[in-house]
Structure 1
Amino acid sequence: MSETQSSTSQKAMDEDNKAVSQTMPNTQDKTNTQDYEDELTRVALALVEDVINYAVKFLEDEQNPIKNIKWMTHGEFTVEKGRKQIDEYLSMCIYKKRWTHTTVFVERKDLIHSFLYIYYVHWNASTAGTPVAQTSSGTYFKLKVSKTKPPDAPIGVFFVGEEQELVHR
């Protein structure tokens, strides 16, 4: 290799080393190196934690597109609060905005171990052009309030669509 090529290569390597030495801490000073590594580890862990949290949230949204709400406890339950919680749950569901619903309390059944509160949700797609809906549907919600569970235990919630046999919990 000629001397000119060698000196040109050496200058390029010196330029590269200068850039690296400006971004890297002085490795001779162990305190600076340790501080740098600690800071780098802290930033990397925070980044990994954010990525994991985002991935978990993304998977939960994919697996459960319908969000759930925190249902009231046995001690908090009233007929009106039950109706409001059903409306709150339905507002979390994904459905077209033109669909409206009405929630009505139907009856209370006194079972041996609990009370069963039955609500009917009537869905329709009425518009200004057709105020009498051509299409409608219904859903029965059953809220189960146990006589034996503690007041801070959540109530049981079940619903079934009109003309269906599958019970959702």
Structure 2
Amino acid sequence: MDKTKKSKSRRVVIIDEKSPVKVTTKDTRDNRNVTDTEDKETLAKAALTIVEDVLKAAVQSVGETKPCARKIKWITHGEFTAEKGQKQIQEFLSTCKFRIGWAFRTEFMRKEDVIHSFYYIYRVGWSLSSAQLPIAKVYTIAYFTVKINKNKPPEAPVDISFVFEDQTLVQRPDSICFQEGTLMNVIEAKYLLINAIKAYLNI
């Protein structure tokens, strides 16, 4: 097989913690010798590295969110139902002010029986639509957990926490409120990720 040498253009992802944008991309010229039969395994590893770097940089902005100005009075163990839990999460999210165009959807996913507690898991997805892109293709996701302790009295308030995207850092609703910049960073990072993978795979 005839293997020809050529120079190839690539798009790289730049992670800059000091930059307000944090994640950018630019075209570079790869002058190394490459062949028409490139190693797909190497490309897959490169794409995976981009995935990890982009999402890590984007989700770091969660720690920069501000406390909620309005406190939510969470329902008690005796009052709780899956529907009321979903309604309270929506009430909490309504305290976070965004521009016109942002929308979120809350969905009850499942109930888990974990020894001394029940966990009610909800998923919240944010999207941003525009005249150019009326149907959003990329979402920012958070998973809320309402913990019902089997041993607590009915008048005790429920315990609510959430994790952002696929992170392990557990947050409390009373400590932060979702900011538009945080959600935008993640959505932009996901678009950059998609474009970077396409560039690496030449699709």
How much has 1:65 moved relative to structure 2? 4.0
Supply the distance in 1 between the matched residues of 2:125 and 2:69 (Cα, whole angstroms).
19
Alignment of 1:84 onto 2:96? no
TM-score where L is the length of structure 1: 0.59
1:103 aligned residue (101, 106, 122): 106
Whether contact under 8 Å (1:139, 1:160) holds in the other structure is yes
Aligned partner letter, 1:74: H
How much has 1:111 moved relative to structure 2? 1.1
Unaligned runs of 5+ in 2: 1-65, 173-203
How much has 1:128 moved relative to structure 2? 4.4
Alignment of 1:125 onto 2:155? no
Supply the distance in 1 between the matched residues of 2:69 and 2:162 (Cα, whole angstroms).
14
Supply the distance in 1 between the matched residues of 2:143 and 2:69 (Cα, whole angstroms).
18
1:75 aligned residue (69, 78, 99): 78
The 5 Å alignment of 1:11-160 reads 64-160=67-163
Supply the distance in 2 between the matched residues of 1:97 and 1:166 (Cα, whole angstroms).
29
- CA root-mean-square deviation: 1.7
Greater CA radius of gyration, 1 or 2? 1
Whether contact under 8 Å (2:124, 2:142) holds in the other structure is yes
Supply the distance in 2 between the matched residues of 1:65 and 1:149 (Cα, whole angstroms).
27
Aligned partner of residue 70 in structure 2, secondary structure: coil
Supply the distance in 2 between the matched residues of 1:156 and 1:122 (Cα, whole angstroms).
21
Q: Give the percent of matched residue pairs that are identical in Structure 1 and Structure 2.
A: 49
Whether contact under 8 Å (2:68, 2:95) holds in the other structure is no
Supply the distance in 2 between the matched residues of 1:65 and 1:87 (Cα, whole angstroms).
14
Supply the distance in 1 between the matched residues of 2:133 and 2:95 (Cα, whole angstroms).
26
Whether contact under 8 Å (1:140, 1:161) holds in the other structure is yes
Aligned partner of residue 166 in structure 1, secondary structure: coil
More strand by share: 2
Aligned partner of residue 80 in structure 1, secondary structure: helix
Aligned partner of residue 87 in structure 2, secondary structure: helix
TM-score where L is the length of structure 2: 0.49
Greater RCO structure (CA 8 Å; 6+ sep): 2
Aligned partner letter, 2:116: H
